[in-house]
Amino acid sequence: MEKPCFHIAVIILLSCFSVCCFGQAHLNLTSDEEALLAFKSRITSDPLNILASNWSTTGPSSVCSWIGVSCGVKERIIALNLSGLSLGGTIDPRLGNLTFLSSLDLSLNRFTGHVPDELSRLRRLKDINLGFNNFTGDVPSCLGSITRLEYVSLRNNSFTGAIPNLLNLSKLVILELSYNSIHGNIPKEIGNISTLESLDLKYNQLTGSIPSSIFNLSYLEKFDLTNNSLSGLIPMEICDNFPRLRGVSFSLNQLSGPIPPGISKCRALQHLSLSFNKFSGSIPKGIGELKMLKNLYLGANNFEGAIPQEIGNLSNLEMFSIRRSSLTGKLPSFIFNISSLKQIDLSYNSLSGSLPPDIHHNLPNLEQLYLHSNRLTGQVLSILLDCKKLWLLQLKDNQFTGTIPKQVGNMTQLKILYLWGNNMTGEIPSELGNLNLERLAVGANKFFGTVPYSIFNISTLIELELGFNLFTGKLPANMGYSLPNLEFLYLSVNSFSGPIPRSISNASKLSIIAMSSNSFTGPLPDFSNLRLIQRLIIPENNLTGEAPDQELRFFSSLQNCRNLEMLELSLNQLNGMLPRSVGNLSTSLQMFRAIGCKIKGSIPAEIGNLSSLKSLLLDHNELTGSIPQELGKLKQVELVTLDHNRLEGQIPTDLCQISRLGELYLSNNVLNGTIPACLGELKSLRKILLDSNRLTSSVPNLWNLTDVWALNLSTNLLSGQISSDIENLKAIINLDLSRNRFSGDIPSSIGSIDSLVTLSFAHNNLQGTIPQSLGGLRGLESLDLSNNNLSGSIPRSLEALTSLQYFDVSHNRLAGEIPNGGHFANFTAQSFKQNNALCGPARFRVPQCKVQTVRRSSSKHISLIKYIAAPIVLAISAVAATLWLLRMRKLSKKQLHVEISPLVAWRRVSYQELQQATEDFSAINSLGSGSFGSVFKGTLSDGLNVAVKVFNIQLERAVKSFDVECEILSTVRHRNLVGVISCCSNTDFKALVLEHMPNGSLEKWLYSHNYCWICCKD
């Protein structure tokens, strides 16, 4: 009886235990299920319909059978893997309730938002992968408290902020934070995570130096800091504690100093990338001891010396790059003896010489060869014919010669062949068409002849570049059908002829067509199928419209090209009108250029619909009508050229709404009215050409355009004075206001614009003098002030214009001496003609200048008096005695009254004063002429009226007469004799200055010798 009772008790106990366990398991399952359903509720995008159809509570299956869910022995979720399902949404915080979770993989989805802090409750988590999403916010600091973590990947997101404290992650093996926007320093505490094997921080914004503590991580195998802003030195002991290091990538930073010689201790190193830094010194020879090394990238640094020959010992090397390193000298031949090499990149250096002739024997594994942008010579292709694995050959921008051998057609692996920019010649062999080339570039050589049709049958071609050669012939009519993968077609600057094949529209993947500078003829084909075309460049041909003087229907075919960014049609014979459909071109269009195409009619207002347009160039056509106001809708436009047309009417003020407008060309039209004042407020303007129109009124306030560098308002009907605010044009280089009706003075403030290179005020009504301040324009190369009413002299300050090449002040009223310093020694008479009062050297075809009276020092006067005082006294005494005797003899016949009067007031008068007093010795002031010269009336600066007798120095008798008259010095003056005020004398000019006697005979007073004066010859 006891035994059955015992059994019943056991059964009851087991039943109770089973019920309790089942209830607890059901409770736990419900908790995990709720967490997943909460997670599902935040999913906004499930394109594969995975969670919507599978994660459901309506069926009999448990949560452990849901896609991506793994459970443990206790029916608890231990792993959640939803990688690569393209899920979108945010992470629900309740995901942190999956407390048994050890692995979480949400990579390769489209999750956004922040990572919730509640994930810190996942204490059993070992692996977390949130890579390749769109998470934002700071790097989740909650991860620092999950102490069991071994693998953390947050790569390829948009995390910001600094790297949080990860010191507690003592078991961490792999840390991937690459491709984010993390900034700040690398925490030195990372160096305390002794278990770390892989540290990947590439493509962030990290700054500062690399913490030395990291170089103590003895288990570290991969260390990648590529593309940050790290600086400083690499510790000399870099490899002292890195016995297992296999990969080091520090490229694209700002690291400096030498590469530590100790790098040779990293004997396990297979990948070393230090390119694009600021490393200096020599390349350590010890790198040649890294026998396991497969990839070596050292380019774009500041190394000195040659590539060490020890690198030739790297028998396992597969990739070697030292591009952009300013290497000179011969091509290092030992590089081409490393038989394991698959890729060699020596591009962008200054290496010379030719390739070793046995390269094909020593490099049987060569797949990629980059030698472009050097100075290499010789015939290259024949050397490489036996490199059977070569699929990329980049040789552009060298000096290679020779032809393309037919045997190239046997290099069956070749996919990319770049020969651009060499000195190769000959015809293109048809055998080249046997290859499955993807990119063929033979431009900028000297190839000639017709291009074999087989080239246009390479259906794998993505890029075909034949430009800048001497090719002739026509394009195959079916080329568009046989090149279905073609994206880039470059045929510019050759002599191709015939029509552009209509079939080209069937090459529907084309994004760039460049056919400029050929001899293509016929109408432009229909491009409507080229929906991916971005650039259509076909200027400088003989292409036409469909019919003369009709709308150019070609533009309508481009309406389907919604990616079109550049349309270049210039210098063709389109000979038609722009249709209104031009406004339906791609809203992506940035440049529309149709210069010199004989386009007629008006500019359609619909052109204002091209909202992305930056450049509109329609100059040198036959456009008529007015400038449409709708141009003001082109908010992105920076350049507008409508010059050399027949446009009329006023300049629309709507142009002032284009806030980015930098250059405006409206010259050589028939525009009238005033210049819009609002242009003076368009601060973006850099170049304004409004010349050769019929613009009137005064110049609006353009002087506040402080950044404008070219302003041409010439050949209009503008009037008024030139404002002194012109000095505000601080950036102006070319300023032309010529052939207008400007008046007044040239503002002296212009002398402060030291950026000026060319300046023209010619053909106006400007008056006054040439400002001295122009001498401050030290960069001035051309100065034209001709055909004005300028007076005064040419400032000598202009001699300081050391850059002046062109100078013209002709047809003015300038006077005085032409400067002879600086570039004035190089100018000709044309620069000064029609200025009647200029003087200078005979080569300028002006009179020679007269030596001016110069005041001598008192010491010279004293010395002079010593020599002439006695003779003067004797002469005066003799004259007085003679007069007394004559007086005594004739006293009985006639009484003569002589009045001794004081000396005539004597003064010094310069040549310039005489020139000004007589108005350049003008004919109006002429009083007469005699056998020895002419007499002019004048008024000195103090109002004294004078007569100036100018001797003709070409007559020897006139010179002698002047000298004789100057020999007699007397203090006697009679009331009927003319008083001499001064004289002016040098080798080129001689004149007497006398008091003007308005009544009486000039002959009596000026050509009689019965008078005396005091004169000082200079």
| pLDDT one-digit tens code per residue, 615-638 | 999 999 999 999 999 999 999 999
Residue 58 binned pLDDT confidence (cut-offs 50, 70, 90) = confident
Percent of the chain scoring above 90 in pLDDT: 75
Question: What pLDDT shows up at residue 769?
Answer: 96
Q: Are 514 and 492 in contact (CB under 8 A)?
A: yes
- The predicted model gives 716-744 an average pLDDT of 96
**895-1006 under CATH 3.30.200.20, yes or no:** yes
Higher pLDDT, 880 or 138: 138
**26-184 under CATH 3.40.190.10, yes or no:** no
In the block, tokens 């000979």 appear at 575
Question: What pLDDT shows up at residue 763?
Answer: 98
Question: What pLDDT shows up at residue 800?
Answer: 94
Which of 162-166, 205-209, 792-796, 973-977 shows the lowest per-residue confidence on average (mean pLDDT)? 973-977
Q: What is the 3-state secondary structure (H, E, C) of 204-225?
A: CEEEECCCHHHHHCCCCCEEEC
Residue 916 binned pLDDT confidence (cut-offs 50, 70, 90) = confident
Question: What pLDDT shows up at residue 398?
Answer: 98
Closest CA to 628 of 651, 646, 644, 612: 651
Element (H, E) at 863: helix 858-889
Listed by start position, the domains of the chain span: 26-184, 895-1006
Which of 193-197, 471-475, 607-611, 1006-1010 shows the lowest per-residue confidence on average (mean pLDDT)? 1006-1010
Please list the residues that pair with 588 across neighbouring strands. none
Higher pLDDT, 988 or 303: 303
3-class SS of residue 400: strand
Q: What does the alpha-carbon distance between residue 654 and residue 858 come to, in Å, rounded to a whole number?
A: 74
Which pairs from 68-71 meet CB under 8 Å and 24+ separation?
A: 69/36, 70/103
Closest CA to 687 of 695, 697, 679: 679
Element (H, E) at 53: helix 50-54
Residue 42 binned pLDDT confidence (cut-offs 50, 70, 90) = very high
Residue 415 binned pLDDT confidence (cut-offs 50, 70, 90) = very high
Higher pLDDT, 590 or 5: 590
Q: Report strand pairing: 222-224 vs 198-200.
A: parallel
Indicate whether 289 pLDDT > 80.
yes
Q: What does the alpha-carbon distance between residue 445 and residue 421 come to, in Å, rounded to a whole number?
A: 6
Indicate whether 490 pLDDT > 70.
yes
CA 480 → CA 476, 533, 538, 545, 561, distances in Å? Answer: 9, 14, 17, 22, 17
- The predicted model gives 461-481 an average pLDDT of 98
Element (H, E) at 875: helix 858-889
CA 1012 → CA 315, 931, 976, distances in Å? Answer: 114, 20, 12
DSSP state of 432: G
Q: What does the alpha-carbon distance between residue 659 and residue 673 come to, in Å, rounded to a whole number?
A: 23
Q: From the CB of residue 815, how many other CB atoms can be counted at a distance below 10 Å?
A: 19
- The predicted model gives 499-506 an average pLDDT of 96
Residue 908 binned pLDDT confidence (cut-offs 50, 70, 90) = low
Q: Alpha-carbon torsion 755, 759, 764, 765, what sign?
A: positive
Q: What does the alpha-carbon distance between residue 503 and residue 456 come to, in Å, rounded to a whole number?
A: 12
Average per-residue pLDDT for the chain: 88
Question: What pLDDT shows up at residue 18?
Answer: 38
Token pair in block for residue 796: 């000598």
Which of 428-437, 849-858, 971-980 shows the lowest per-residue confidence on average (mean pLDDT)? 971-980
- The predicted model gives 71-84 an average pLDDT of 94
- The predicted model gives 711-718 an average pLDDT of 98
Q: What does the alpha-carbon distance between residue 248 and residue 271 come to, in Å, rounded to a whole number?
A: 6
Residue 683, Cβ density class (10 Å: 0-12 exposed, 13-18 middle, ≥19 buried) = exposed
Indicate whether 409 pLDDT > 90.
yes
Q: What angle do CA 394, 400, 404 make, to 5 degrees?
A: 75
DSSP state of 551: B
Indicate whether 563 pLDDT > 80.
yes
Q: Are 543 and 523 in contact (CB under 8 A)?
A: yes
Q: Are 115 and 93 in contact (CB under 8 A)?
A: no
- The predicted model gives 68-93 an average pLDDT of 95
- The predicted model gives 315-344 an average pLDDT of 95
Residue type, 540: E
Token pair in block for residue 651: 């300049």
Q: What angle do CA 128, 153, 237 make, to 5 degrees?
A: 130
Tens of pLDDT, residue by residue over 529-540, are 999 999 999 999
- The predicted model gives 309-323 an average pLDDT of 96
Tens of pLDDT, residue by residue over 110-129, are 999 999 999 999 999 999 99
Residue 305 binned pLDDT confidence (cut-offs 50, 70, 90) = confident
Per the annotation, does 850 bind a ligand?
A: no
First-last CA distance in the chain: 165
Q: What does the alpha-carbon distance between residue 838 and residue 816 come to, in Å, rounded to a whole number?
A: 5
Question: What pLDDT shows up at residue 1011?
Answer: 31
In the block, tokens 């050409």 appear at 689
Q: What angle do CA 696, 698, 699 make, to 5 degrees?
A: 105
Which residues touch 834 (CB under 8 Å, ≥6 apart)? 810, 811, 812
Tens of pLDDT, residue by residue over 936-947, are 888 887 777 888
Please list the residues that pair with 440 across neighbouring strands. 417, 464
Tens of pLDDT, residue by residue over 877-900, are 554 554 544 554 443 333 333 333
Which of 56-60, 382-386, 875-879 shows the lowest per-residue confidence on average (mean pLDDT)? 875-879
| Residue 295 backbone dihedrals phi, psi, to 5 degrees | -125, 125
- The predicted model gives 606-611 an average pLDDT of 97
Q: What does the alpha-carbon distance between residue 775 and residue 802 come to, in Å, rounded to a whole number?
A: 10
Higher pLDDT, 547 or 860: 547
CA dihedral 621, 625, 627, 631 (to 10 degrees): -90
- The predicted model gives 375-401 an average pLDDT of 95
Question: What pLDDT shows up at residue 931?
Answer: 59
Tens of pLDDT, residue by residue over 969-999, are 334 444 444 556 777 776 567 787 877 766 5
Higher pLDDT, 916 or 799: 799
Q: From the CB of residue 286, how many other CB atoms can be counted at a distance below 10 Å?
A: 18
Indicate whether 856 pLDDT > 60.
no
Residue 14 binned pLDDT confidence (cut-offs 50, 70, 90) = very low
Q: What is the pTM of this model?
A: 0.75
Please list the residues that pair with 813 across neighbouring strands. 791
Closest CA to 55 of 42, 65, 44: 65
Q: From the CB of residue 398, how many other CB atoms can be counted at a distance below 10 Å?
A: 24
